[in-house]
Amino acid sequence: MAIKIYKPTSNGRRNSSVIDYKAVLTNTEPEKSLCVRIKKSGGRNHHGVTTVRFRG
């Protein structure tokens, strides 16, 4: 991951740096086997009884 260091063109830019995400992000499709939906329980346990209020 590259770090982009800014030149001091103003007082706010002096000593500032950010992560350059262009080296990391791509336009390709994500790997299908790694994309798994996280099941939401809606505050219910394995019996189907509401155990956490105000969810779903």
CB 2 within 8 A of CB 15: no
Q: Token pair of 37, please?
A: 């939906």
The domain tally of the chain equals 1
Q: What is the pLDDT of residue 20?
A: 86
Q: What is the pLDDT of residue 30?
A: 86
Q: The CATH number of the domain where 2 resides is what?
A: 2.40.50.140
Q: Token pair of 26, please?
A: 């791509």
CB 24 within 8 A of CB 1: yes
Domain around 33: 1-55
pLDDT tens digits for range 1-56 = 788 899 999 999 999 999 888 877 888 888 899 999 999 999 999 999 999 999 98
